[in-house]
Amino acid sequence: MTTSFSKADAAALLAQGFLQNQGGESFSGRILTKSGRLTAEQVIGLAEAARKFGSGQVSFTTRLNVEIPGIPYGKIPAFKEHVAACGLVTGGTGPKVRPVLSCKGGVCRNGLFDTFGLAGEITERFVAGFRDLILPNKLKIGVGGCPNNCAKPDLNDVGVSGRMKPVLDKEACTNCPECLVQAACQASAVTAREEGPPIIDEARCLECGRCVSACLSGAVTGRVRYEFFLGGRWGKLAVPGRPLNRDFETWEEVLAMIGKVIRLVADRGLKGERVSGVVERLGFAEVEKALLG
């Protein structure tokens, strides 16, 4: 078993998702997940890989991918074969579209849509589909299911967040003795009245959608729309993303816009530049015009 390796070998492995550990004698293998989801069989397979090839430990990255540390250089080929047999691959490094991070909106009581589903579509189309596309820098995508902002999509290069604006049908309101719409509102944006329908203060509304499911008479309705953030970044030089001056109503519209952002960065980005850098250099208005025009 080969145990020695060069700097060129380490650089080539980094591009495949193997990060050199402190001390330089072993590597961590980064395995891609679908926003942190694995099957029970895959979890068992990764535990076996950690015992057989690594240090016996399994950890999760901040973007919910898996890393197995302590893999000797000579065991990496066998490790890759084992991971492939589990239906998984290594990667998630380099100047590419990075693995998508999403919240658990599809199963969360606050979730407005299937975030895992949308993240999966983005992964298939842009992470797997654009695997060989080299960008000026890494490009991170975040998906959030509601205004709680758990996955912090606005701190990604591209962020998508679900919103639901309530619409009140005054004629359908039955003027309940206790207004459940008001009780459900966490922002105190709803004022109930003794006579007549409640008043919804749009300026205070968080568009979380909780009031829509609370109304027994169906007088409050709403549908999901997707807010699209651009140019967010976390780390040493944190930058909050800015929302486009347009929301989207379908996943296909969201996917098309992500594709436009990637093409814009690939065509007009400078080496080492994140999306936030492109936006700062060209101006948000110019970038927004190019994307929405």
Sign of the Cα torsion 128, 133, 138, 140 reads: negative
Residue by residue, pLDDT tens for the chain (293 residues) are 667 889 898 999 999 999 999 988 899 999 999 888 899 999 999 999 999 999 999 999 999 999 999 999 999 999 999 999 999 999 999 999 999 999 999 899 999 999 999 999 999 999 989 989 999 999 999 999 999 999 999 999 999 999 999 999 999 999 998 999 999 998 999 999 888 899 999 999 999 999 998 998 999 999 999 999 999 999 888 999 999 999 999 999 999 999 999 999 999 999 999 999 999 999 999 999 999 98
3-state SS class at 230: strand
d(CA 14, CA 24): 13
d(CA 98, CA 93): 7
Of 151, 80, 79, 148, which Cα lies nearest the Cα of 122? 151
> Which class for 240: exposed (0-12), middle (13-18), buried (19 or more C-beta within 10 A)?
middle
> Which pLDDT does position 268 carry in this prediction?
96
- Per the listing, tokens 């006579």 go with 195
> Which pLDDT does position 1 carry in this prediction?
62
Of 6, 42, 17, 277, which Cα lies nearest the Cα of 137? 277
- Strands (DSSP E) contained in the chain are 18-20, 26-31, 59-60, 66-72, 101-102, 141-144, 158-164, 167-168, 190-191, 199-200, 220-221, 224-230, 242-243
For residue 186 the two structure tokens come to: 């966490």
Sorted by where each starts, the structural domains of the chain and their CATH numbers stand as: 7-85 (3.30.70.3340), 101-140+152-160+228-292 (3.30.413.10), 166-221 (3.30.70.20)
Q: Give every CB contact of residue 12 below 8 A, 6+ residues apart in sequence.
A: none
Q: Give every CB contact of residue 172 below 8 A, 6+ residues apart in sequence.
A: 217, 218, 219
d(CA 293, CA 287): 10
d(CA 164, CA 237): 32
